[in-house]
Structure 1
């Protein structure tokens, strides 16, 4: 799926490669690899899932069921010297797959 400027939001899974310290290095989206620019500020934060709305039950010791992780990074294709795009990524509690929240 290619994101059009008029509909820049999605919920599609993306592959994210991280550095040893946990910072995103590259994103695979729509068959292309986007390299994160290390010289541009990245944002990393957590929000809380509305667990009371999902009514999900979990056994004791399952892990963190409420922290939603977010990254916002600037990236471009490797051979492209064009404009950087802003990727906002999110990962739901206990998920191993990252979701593309938006590209702008």
Structure 2
């Protein structure tokens, strides 16, 4: 959610200034692109050394849509699954909302 920072900040598509008094307040933004991610391990990798570190990088900060709080490392750990036989499975379907992902994978 965003709000204008001052009186001379919002213009309509024709370039006409829209006074802050005509603004309804917070504006929800619909991001065109969901965050994407990358890791230094392959999905389904086998014979992974348990002492190897795992790095995951995302293009944007990830927020829990229910609380608005920044997602923590412990929140993301739920999406990394180590299976018997030391097969590493990475799950980060970022086109799902945090709530949908939690319902789907937990």
**One fold, TM greater than 0.5?**
no
Identify the TM-score tier after normalising by the shorter chain.
Answer: under 0.3
Please report the TM-score for the alignment, with normalisation by the length of structure 2: 0.23
Which structure has more RCO (C-alpha within 8 Å, separation ≥ 6)? 1
Structure with bigger gyration radius: 2
Please report the TM-score for the alignment, with normalisation by the length of structure 1: 0.23
